[in-house]
Amino acid sequence: MSITTQIKSDPARWQRLKEILADALEQPSVERQTAVLRESCADDTTLFGEAEKLLAHDTTVFEEFAEFAAARLMRDERDRIGERIGAYAVISELGRGGMGAVYLAERADGQFEKRVAIKVLKRGTDTDELLHRFRIERQILANLEHPNITRLLDAGITTDGLPYFVMEFIEGTPITKFVQRENIGLRGRLQLFLKVCSAIDLAHRHHIIHRDIKPGNVLVNENCEPRLLDFGIAKLLGIDPDDEQVTITAERRLTPLYAAPEQNAGQAATIASDVYSLGALLYELLTNKPPPGSSNGNSLENDPSKHLTEPLPSHVVTDPQTKHQLRGQLDQIVAKTIRRDPAQRYSSAAELSKDIERYLDRGAPRSEHSSRGTSWHRWQIAAASLGAIVLATALLFSLRNKFAWPKSAQTSPPHAAVAHSIAVLPFDNLSEERENAYFADGIQGDILTNLSKIGDLKVIARASVMGYRGKTTSIHEIGKALGVSTILEGNVRRAGNRVRVNVELINAENGQAIWAEITIVT
């Protein structure tokens, strides 16, 4: 006889089972749930079996339906455009998510032209409690000033009783999408990630835990600046179980893929759980694949001995070059960030940053003078200034190309080079330490990025030119193979704090140098 049929014929049994199940559901971990079942059922193995079976059911769909009913069935929440929320007039809807909708709005009184994003939460939150918490948190959040943190400006309750948050409006793309769309290289991704770490670290030093770090909460704008959203909102919403509101809702509202195992088990969010989420984010940034996740949904079978770090980032990428880059140091950094045991993770976002910087700055002695503050910073300036020079020159060049070499373009054989086309070969590393090759790659990358901004210039993708690293193929051959009219090559020599970059722009047809530049940065 099935459980439900049995219940139908014996309501008293359901009353008993119901209390046992409810007690179990209030436990923070699967282990403790089972313990409660054992204790309550005592020797009644049938009852234990039934309870365990019932407890294993996934009831997400009912929760979702209840949310749907709250938002749409009875109350129509689809259209707020033109409405006023607080001092703001809603212009358009930006998106809709698990917690509610986000709108673009501007000051209704026209006092400022400031545009804001307003997040209106779904029904189902205790609004009085929320506002009370917000008033307490507001001052702390207001102090959180960092270029990569989106400011929370205000909060309140809409006329129809829904809590809302007013935030700075950020135009951007979720970081993981951004790096894929813009084809950002490994180094660029790590640099973006360092900025995220720095923002999180500042918050942590103010004793603010983000609690919900995930790609959708890290937007990157056109200037390649990441911005963190929703700081402290998770706590305001009480989805952080460290206050008395331990609910199943808390688990459901977090994004399980990025939340630490202890958070998914209903425990309090800590600096360590934020570090875990950073690791999950880094995993995706490095591999373009979702992180392994700390909760497999089937919580009864959560095995604490199972390593979360499997598979390692290098195991999930297929491109051999990326695989090679990730193997070793980066694999280890990610593994240490997403350990199941919070005590075994990096103790702070700053510690994690240090190891990433060490990776980026490989080969440099770890001393006060050569730490990131000096050489890394200079390197960025060097790359930026050089990038600018190349950009300017390339523009001039492309113009000159138009007028001075029309004949070659017209008389070319069908498969010949496009007139406005360029390949940037891998830069040679002439430094004594082989590790400094990343300087060379970085310069090549920056130049590529800058060149690709020129409208009618065809730039050969990095992947297609990497094969020529260290090869002795002639410029003419390379030009023919890649179908380009010009080739940029160069080398980098780094000695101590001095970096010398030598760049040459070559006409692929006749091998003549069109332009050359030497930049020295100290």
Partner 1 sequence: MAGEYVELEDAPVPRGNFRPSSDAVELSARTYEKLRRIAAEYLRSERAGHTLQPTALLHEAFLRVLKRPDHYWRNETHVIAFAARAMRRILISYGVARTRDKRGGPSVVRLPLDEALDFCAERDLNIAAVDEALEELEGADARQAQIVELRFFAGLSVDEIASTLKISRATVKRDWATAKLWLRSRLLEV
Which residue number, 24 or 465, has a Cβ lying nearer to partner 1?
24
Which residue number, 244 or 310, has a Cβ lying nearer to partner 1?
244
DSSP 303: -
Which residue number, 63 or 301, has a Cβ lying nearer to partner 1?
63
Rounded CA gap, 475 and 481, in Å? 10
Which residue number, 25 or 396, has a Cβ lying nearer to partner 1?
25
Comparing CA positions, the residue from 159, 244, 242, 176 lying closest to residue 208 is: 242
Least distance from partner 1 to the Cβ atom of residue 64, Å? 7
Helix (H) or strand (E) holding 519: strand 513-521
3-state per-residue secondary structure call for 82-118: CCEECCEEEEEEEEECCCEEEEEEEECCCCCCCEEEE
Q: Specify whether the CB–CB gap between 167 and 152 falls below 8 A.
A: yes
- Structure tokens given for 229: 């959203």
Let me know if 154 is a catalytic residue. Answer: no
Looking only at Cα atoms, what is the longest distance across the chain? 95
Which residue number, 111 or 159, has a Cβ lying nearer to partner 1?
159
- Structure tokens given for 243: 């206050």
Angle among Cα 503, 505, 510 to the nearest 5 degrees reads 140
Which residue number, 19 or 39, has a Cβ lying nearer to partner 1?
19
**Could you count the other beta carbons within 10 Å of the beta carbon of residue 64?**
12
Which residue number, 81 or 392, has a Cβ lying nearer to partner 1?
81
Axis-axis angle for helices 271-287, 329-337 (nearest 10): 140
Least distance from partner 1 to the Cβ atom of residue 215, Å? 24
Residue type, 213: I
Q: Give the N- to C-terminal CA distance of the chain in Å, as an integer.
A: 82
3-state per-residue secondary structure call for 172-194: CEEHHHHHHHCCCCHHHHHHHHH
Least distance from partner 1 to the Cβ atom of residue 236, Å? 16
Which residue number, 19 or 222, has a Cβ lying nearer to partner 1?
19
- Structure tokens given for 304: 């604490």
Burial of 349 (0-12, 13-18, 19+ CB in 10 A): buried
Comparing CA positions, the residue from 251, 332, 331 lying closest to residue 294 is: 251
**Could you count the other beta carbons within 10 Å of the beta carbon of residue 502?**
17
- In this structure, is the dihedral angle defined by the CA atoms of residues 506, 512, 514 and 520, taken in order, positive or negative? positive
Rounded CA gap, 255 and 277, in Å? 10
Catalytic residue among 43, 44, 212, 446: 212
For 86, phi then psi, to 5°, come to: 60, -130
- Structure tokens given for 141: 């959040």
Which residue number, 145 or 244, has a Cβ lying nearer to partner 1?
244
Which residue number, 14 or 376, has a Cβ lying nearer to partner 1?
14
Decide the pairing of beta strands 428-429 and 484-495: parallel
Least distance from partner 1 to the Cβ atom of residue 102, Å? 19
Rounded CA gap, 235 and 32, in Å? 25
| Contact footprint for partner 1 (CB under 8 A) | 2-5, 7-8, 11, 14-15, 17-19, 21-22, 25-26, 53-55, 57-59, 61-66, 68-76, 83-84, 123-127, 157, 159-161, 247-248
Decide the pairing of beta strands 418-424 and 484-495: parallel
Rounded CA gap, 167 and 119, in Å? 8
Q: Which residue has the tokens 């207001």?
A: 142
For 257, phi then psi, to 5°, come to: -65, -30
Catalytic residues: 212
